[in-house]
Amino acid sequence: MPVEGLSHITLIVADLARTARLLADVLGARQIYSSGNRMFSTAPEMFFDVGGVWLAIMEGEPLPQRSYNHVAFKIPDAAFDEYLARVRAAGVDMREPRTRVPGEGRSIYFHDFDNHLFELHTGTLSERLERYAKAGP
Residues 46-56: tens digit of each pLDDT: 999 999 999 99
Answer yes or no: is 4 within a domain: no
Choice among 45, 61, 96, 127 that is catalytic: 45
Based on the structure, what is the number of domains in the chain? 1
CATH number, domain with residue 53: 3.10.180.10
Mean pLDDT of 26-36: 96
**pTM reported for the whole predicted model:** 0.89
Residue 123: left if φ>0, alpha if ψ -120 to 50, beta else—which one?
beta
Report the distance separating Cα 94 and Cα 24, nearest Å. 18
Answer yes or no: is 48 within a domain: yes
Crossing angle between the packed helical segments 16-27 and 80-90, to the nearest 10 degrees: 160
Mean pLDDT of 35-55: 92
Q: Specify whether 127 is catalytic.
A: no
